[in-house]
Structure 1
Amino acid sequence: MVGGGFGGNFSKNIGQHIFGKNHQPSIDDAIKMTTVKKAGDRMWIIHMPIVNSILLETDEGLVVIDTGMAPAGPALIKAIRSVSDKPIHTIIITHGHTDHAYGTYALVEDSPNAQIIAHENIIPRFERYIKLGGSLANYMSQPADELPASRDDLVWPTRTFSDRLELTIGGEEFVLQHRKGETDDHLYVWVPGRKAIAVGDFYQGFLPNVGNGKRSQRYVEEWAETMREMAALEPEVLLPSHGEGITTGKAIEENFVVLAQALESISEQTIAALNKGIRKDLIIDSIELPEELAEHPTLQVKYVSAKDISKMLLKQYTGWWNDIPSDWSPAPWAVRGAEIAGLAGGIDQLVVRAREVMKTDLALASHMADWAWMADSDHPE
C-alpha cells in the first residue's frame, strides 16, 4: 500500500483474493474503484485496483489488452460497456500473471466469439499454476481454495504464437512481439497506425518487479533489450498495465531508455563480479545504480531494489549454493538455533538482546528472531 498499489488504487480485499472470481467484497471494490480514462482517439486506459486494462475500438470490434485479476472481471466489462457497445473482437494477454489474465471469463461471457491471443508459453505457465496451487497460495498469501485446481478453472487462449504475430483488425495493424521480461511468455503490442504501444509489465513507472524473491525466474538482460527496442519504435502513446499513460513521445523514449540503462548497469556489475569469483553476498552488497539513474523519478524503489534484481541474475546464471562453505551441506536450522541460543546464555537472553538491537539494526535483530524461533518455536517470548 505504501508503494502505491503498482501505480493505481489499492484494495485489500482484491489483494487478498486475486484468484477469487466469486469473492463478492472484492468484486464490489473493483466496481467501485474502476475508472476509465481516454488515451486518444478510440483508445482508453481502464484503471482497476492495482492494474490496468487497455481498450481500443476498431471498425471491426473492440480489442482488449489484459483483463485484470479475477474479481475485476465484472468491473472491466462494465467499464468497457460504458464507452462502447461494440462486440469484443480480440482479447490479448500480455503475460499469464494473475493481475493480467484472470478477468477474461467476464469478457467471454459478454462476447463468446472473441478470440483470445497469448504467447505459447502461457500454456505451460497455466499448467504450473494448476500443478503448484498450494505453493502459489503460500507464496502469494492467497486462499488455497481459490487457486485453479483444474483446466476448467482457467480461460485458455484460442490462439498462441511463438515470436511475432501481425494482425489486421478493422483495417488496422496490431503487432504482437514476444520478449522475455517479467515472464517467459511476455509480449508487447505495437499499433503503428496510432503510434501507440501497450507494454504489459515492461514499463511500470518505478524500478520494476524483476527481483521478486517469491517468484519464478525473471529476465533482466532481455528486459533491458526490449526497452531499447520499444523506444526505437518512437511511440507517441504509452498504454501501460500499471500507472498512468503518457502521450509525449520524448518522455516515453527517455523513460524506456533510462530503464534499459538501469537494468544494464545492474547486469554488468553482477556479471563482472561473478567473473572475478566474488562471493555472492558481497556481489549483492556492492550493487548500486549510478546517481543519475537512482534519482530518476521513474526508477523509484517501491517493490524491489537494485540488489534484489542482482539476486535474480545470480539465480539465472548460477546454482542454488550461496558460496558460503557451511551452507553446502548445512546443519539443520533447529540445531544451529539451539547452539546460538546456548552461546547467548539461553533463548531469553537472545530475545532480550534482539529487542535491544532492533532499535538500531532491524536486519540483524531479524536474524536473532529466526535463531530463537528455530531453536524453540513454542517458547512464549
Structure 2
Amino acid sequence: HLAVGYGIANSIMVEGIDGNIIIDASDSVAEAEEVYSHFSKINSNPIKAIIYTHNHGDHTFGAAYYYNLDEEKPMVIAHESTSKYVERIMGILNPIISKRSSRMFGTELPSGDVINVGIGPYLGVSQSPIGYIKPNITFTDELKINIAGVDIELYHAPGETNDQLFVWLPKHRALMPGDNIYRTFPNLYTIRGTPHRDVKSWVKSLDHMRSLKPDYLLPSHTKPLEGEEVLETLTIYRDAVQFVHDQTIRLMNKGHSPDEISHMIQLPPEVSSSPFVREFYGTVRWSVKSIFNGYLGWFDGNVSNLDPLPSEDYARRLAMLSGGEEKLFEALQKAVESEDMQWALQLSDSLLALNYKIDSTKKLRQEAIQYIGDRALNPNKRNYFLSSANELNANYQAEPLLPQTSELLSEISIDMFFDILSVRLNPEKAKGIKQRVCFEFDSGNIKTITLRNQIAEVSSEKTNCNILVKTSEQILKEALAGVRNPIMTVASGDIDTGGQRTNFLNFLSKFAE
C-alpha cells in the first residue's frame, strides 16, 4: 500500500501474517500519524519493522510515531552508514543545510506561493516534532530477512545518497527503489547542498534493479508503475543519467569548463520525451557542474579563476570602468526596467559588495529575484528564488527548520556534539588560549577538548584537565542544543564543574559567534 501526497515523500506499508512493515516513515510525526490513520483502516496489525531507504528526513523523521505505537518495539532497518549521514546533517552542517533546504522547499513561503516541491506537494518537517529513531539492524551489501512471514531482500544501491538501499519482494516481484528513481530528472546535484553523488554508481544501482525484472515499481516519490512500463522506465532513466555523465566527461577531456559544458549538453529526443526525465526536480545543467566538480574539484582550469580578485575589489574596478558607483547603480536600474534580470542580479552583487545604496539595491535585487522565481518551471529553483526574495523583506525572521527535542537528541551520538563544538570555535575568542576541559559522563564515556592555536582538538584522554566536568550525555546534549538553558543547568549542578562554573561558562562562550 502506497501513501502518496501526504508530504514530499511516499510511505509504504507491506502487510505480513501477524504484523506490518513500514518502508519510509514520512517527514514528521504528525504526517506519519495522518498516513497511519489510513493504513490502519486497511490493516491494524502491529508494526514489526520500519525500513529507511536512506537518511533524508522526509523518509526518517516520522519514525517515532510508528516506533511508539505498541509496547513491543519494531525493528528499525537501514544501511550501516545511514546514522552517520543523519548525524552529519543534524550536526556540523545543520545551520547551512537547514537554511538552504528551507529555501529549496519553500518552507517559509506563504502556502499559495508553493505550487509543489518537484517530487511531492510540500515538505512538512517543520510542522511537528522530528521523530527520528536510530536503526537497530544494519547491513553492508545485502540483507535477506523474513518479517511477519514476508520474504524481503534489501540491497545497498548508492545513488541519490551513498547509503541508499532498495527493497525487493521476490514473491510479489515488487521493487521499492527509494529515491533512485522518481517521475522527474534526478537530483544528480541538489541546490540545498550535498556531497558528490557518484553518478556511475547510480547507473549501476539502476541496472541492478533492472536485472530483477520487476512487475511493480513503488517509488518513494511520485506514483507507482506496473507491467512493461517498469522496465522501460528504468532503462530510459538510467540512459538519461549515463548520457549526462558520459558527455560531461567527454567535454571535460576536450578542455571545456563547467559553465560551457552546462550549456552544451541536452538529452537526446528519444530520452527527453519520457515524463520521467523532465526537469522538475534535478536539471541537466546543475548535474553537469556537479559531475565536473566530483572528478576534478572546484578549479575549472582557467588560470584567471585560480586566485581571482576578492568580490569587493572586482566590484570597485567594475564601478570605475562604468564611470563610478552611481553609473553602476543606473545600469542596475536599467537592467530591471528592461527585464534583463540575471544581469541585474550580477550587478546587484557588485553594488552590495561596495555597500552602495544598500536599501535601493536590495529592493531592485528583490524585484529581479522575484521575477525569475515567478517564471521558473523547476520547483526547486522557483522556491529557492522566492524564498531568497522573501528574506530581503525588512521584517523577515528565520524560523528553525529542524527544531530540537529531548527525544531527538537521545537518538544522536555525543560524538556529533563534540564535532559541532570543534567547527563552532570562534578563533578570535580563542587567541592565545591553551586550555583542556575534560568531560566525564555517567555512562563511563570520556571526552576532552583541548584549545590551542585557535583550534579545538577532541580526544578521549582524561589527563591534565584544567576543568573536569561531570554530567550525563543527555543533559550536555540538551544544554548545547538549547533545549536547556546552559547557565541554569550549570547553576543547578546538573552539569558539575568542580567549582569552576565561571571558567566553564567562559569556555563555552568561545564556541559562540
TM-score clears 0.5: yes
Gap change, CA 1:284 and 1:219, over 3 Å in 2: same
Equivalent residue for 2:101, pick from 116, 126, 140: 140
More deviation in 46-55 or 178-187? 46-55
Report the counterpart of residue 96 of structure 1 in structure 2. 55
More deviation in 124-133 or 114-123? 124-133
**Structure 1 residue matching 2:49: 3-state secondary structure:** strand
More deviation in 156-165 or 206-215? 206-215
More deviation in 368-377 or 237-246? 368-377
1:297 has 2:257 as partner: no
Corresponding letter in the other structure for 1:370: D
Corresponding letter in the other structure for 1:271: I
Contact 1:63 1:90 in 2 (8 A): yes
Distance 1:211 1:116 in 2: 28
Distance 1:176 1:347 in 2: 61
Distance 1:357 1:295 in 2: 35
Contact 1:52 1:241 in 2 (8 A): yes
Contact 1:46 1:55 in 2 (8 A): no
Gap change, CA 1:324 and 1:354, over 3 Å in 2: farther
Matching of residues 158-307 of structure 1 within 5 Å? 158-216=136-194, 217-247=196-226, 249-307=227-285
Report the counterpart of residue 335 of structure 1 in structure 2. 313
For the pair shown, the structure with the greater C-alpha radius of gyration is 2
Corresponding letter in the other structure for 2:278: Q
Distance 1:285 1:58 in 2: 50
Contact 1:207 1:302 in 2 (8 A): yes
Q: C-alpha deviations, 1:8-57, integer Å up to 9, x for none?
A: xxxxxxxxxxxxxxxxxxxxxxxxxxxxxxxxxxx343541221101110
More deviation in 269-278 or 118-127? 269-278
| Structure 2 unaligned regions, length at least 5 | 108-123, 361-513
Corresponding letter in the other structure for 1:371: S
Distance 1:206 1:171 in 2: 35
Report the counterpart of residue 79 of structure 2 in structure 1. 119
Query: Cα offset for 1:266?
Result: 0.6
Distance 1:363 1:304 in 2: 20
Report the counterpart of residue 292 of structure 2 in structure 1. 314
Query: Cα offset for 1:115?
Result: 0.2
Q: C-alpha deviations, 1:122-153, integer Å up to 9, x for none?
A: 1211221223221222222289xx999xxx97
Report the counterpart of residue 12 of structure 1 in structure 2. none
Report the counterpart of residue 63 of structure 1 in structure 2. 21
Distance 2:230 2:43 in 1: 28
Report the counterpart of residue 356 of structure 1 in structure 2. 334
Report the counterpart of residue 380 of structure 2 in structure 1. none
1:45 has 2:16 as partner: no
Corresponding letter in the other structure for 1:90: A
**Structure 1 residue matching 2:282: 3-state secondary structure:** coil
Contact 1:341 1:375 in 2 (8 A): no
Report the counterpart of residue 13 of structure 1 in structure 2. none
Which runs of at least 4 in structure 1 moved beyond 6 Å after TM superposition?
A: none
**Structure 1 residue matching 2:68: 3-state secondary structure:** helix
Distance 1:147 1:136 in 2: 13
**Structure 1 residue matching 2:50: 3-state secondary structure:** strand
Superposition CA RMSD, Å: 2.4
Distance 2:16 2:4 in 1: 17
Query: Cα offset for 1:304?
Result: 2.4
Query: Cα offset for 1:308?
Result: 1.2
Q: C-alpha deviations, 1:206-258, integer Å up to 9, x for none?
A: 101222133212222221222222122121111111111112x2111111100
Q: C-alpha deviations, 1:175-227, integer Å up to 9, x for none?
A: 11111101110011010111111111111111012221332122222212222
Distance 1:61 1:235 in 2: 24
Distance 1:47 1:214 in 2: 22
| Structure 1 unaligned regions, length at least 5 | 1-42
Contact 1:137 1:147 in 2 (8 A): no
More deviation in 100-109 or 301-310? 301-310
Contact 1:220 1:309 in 2 (8 A): no
Distance 2:88 2:298 in 1: 21
Aligned length: 334
Query: Cα offset for 1:114?
Result: 0.3
Gap change, CA 1:46 and 1:290, over 3 Å in 2: closer
Contact 1:209 1:304 in 2 (8 A): yes
Query: Cα offset for 1:313?
Result: 1.0
Equivalent residue for 2:31, pick from 69, 72, 86: 72
1:371 has 2:378 as partner: no
Contact 2:184 2:280 in 1 (8 A): yes
Corresponding letter in the other structure for 2:51: I
Distance 1:322 1:312 in 2: 12
Distance 1:101 1:133 in 2: 16
**Structure 2 residue matching 1:254: 3-state secondary structure:** helix
Distance 2:160 2:34 in 1: 26
Contact 2:17 2:148 in 1 (8 A): yes
Gap change, CA 1:179 and 1:377, over 3 Å in 2: farther
Distance 2:167 2:279 in 1: 26
Contact 1:77 1:106 in 2 (8 A): no
Corresponding letter in the other structure for 1:109: N
1:109 has 2:34 as partner: no
Query: Cα offset for 1:273?
Result: 1.7
Query: Cα offset for 1:118?
Result: 0.4
**Structure 2 residue matching 1:173: 3-state secondary structure:** strand
Corresponding letter in the other structure for 1:45: A
Corresponding letter in the other structure for 1:245: P
Distance 1:60 1:377 in 2: 69
